[in-house]
Chain A
């Protein structure tokens, strides 16, 4: 499974110490403060973000910089959140998105 890079020949010590807890499809995972949701998922071995509406095919990171929207997921009840450019927050609830997703109730 892909892993975090903690010791880099150019960047040096890239260990991120402060952790943030989020849940992904009900499962608790540990992420690092300030990182993007998609990076946290990668570090935890998750690389399917959503399934397409017509053929129900899996999609994951493609551009990594917010251009392609392939990494969209439902975050805190809000669908179509680009996880590659959205940082994690404590208690964030992330869900695999099916099709165009559905806005959940109690979402402001």
Chain B
């Protein structure tokens, strides 16, 4: 059995920043990730991030990703890529499937004094007639194709969902050269920020509110060819006779995300269903520590928010770990954590942030 002071699961913004903050203060940190490259979903975020200057707003996710990888290297974070955490067992033992090369794998158990679960989130799907046809995919999948693999996922695309993901990915699909025929939103109002919505509307993409998709049509050889959409009534039910058909080859779904919390649940960390933050998630205190001492959670797996918040939550967990391992005096740690909390609160403002702030405050209060 391998032993480590701190193991961080997931090398996205939350995991990287947790690993960096702990390693910077001399903790021995192992960061594992199932992908071939660290960075999580940061490298497909080619847009500039929001926030104030304290959050280094105006910097693209892709550049933040590069900086984090450099920092992780600088502070000596050990990184295992192509390595899947398959289980979390009692007394903080992590089962991992480690790839030696493309063909061979080995199973390892790592006993960690401190664990950070930073596994992120998965995209929600919505079910409609024909939703399994090739050509229907998550908005994140289309974003990965365009921005990471530099391949267009389709030529004529219909986006379902007008939250920030739906709006931003629509714009990025335009940037990559695809045609986005429209964005559908079942709610009576656009879900994401006005600034993102305005960008795509200016580019000629209509956003249809109170409208949903009812069917994807196509065939077994080529996948999607048409999308049938329909107006919805006050109860979000399609109004018969209001159907319209779009000729598209691709339908992308941006219907929110849910935390990947299986590992926390497996270890028995207390979880609760918090709709504002994406569903079931492990509860945590102000140190991002779960109900099981020594197991922390950060980023989308602690409640779906934005990459900036994930970075800050990761930092909180990293500092808290360094503190509990004795690498930093608690007075010093408190002041650093307070600074981070001030920045986090600054990210949970406005009509979108307030409900998340309220939900997070409730989580922390419940915990106490």
Contact = CB atoms under 8 A, between A and B. Distances in A.
B150 A57 contact: no
A63 B121 CA distance: 12
Interface residues of A, number: 37
A3 B153 CA distance: 8
Interface in B82-140: 102-103, 122-123, 125, 132-138, 140
Contact of B175 (A3, A8, A36, A62): A8
Given A39-B145, A47-B135, A108-B103, A66 B154 contact: no
Interface in A20-63: 35-36, 39, 42-43, 47-49, 57-63
B147 interface: yes
A85 B153 contact: no
B151 A4 contact: yes
B223 A10 contact: no
A16 B150 contact: yes
A5 interface: yes
A39 B35 contact: no
B151 A5 contact: yes
B328 interface: no
B36 A9 contact: no
Contact of B223 (A6, A14, A58): A58
Interface in B41-81: 41, 46, 60
Contact of B153 (A16, A35, A42): A42
Contacts of A66: 34-35
Contacts of B36: 85, 87
B144 interface: yes
The 10 closest A-B pairs by CB, nearest first: A60-B134, A64-B141, A39-B149, A64-B144, A14-B150, A2-B152, A5-B150, A47-B134, A39-B151, A5-B176
16 contacts: A5-B150, A6-B150, A8-B150, A35-B151, A47-B134, A58-B221, A59-B132, A61-B137, A61-B153, A62-B136, A63-B123, A63-B138, A64-B137, A64-B141, A65-B140, A66-B35
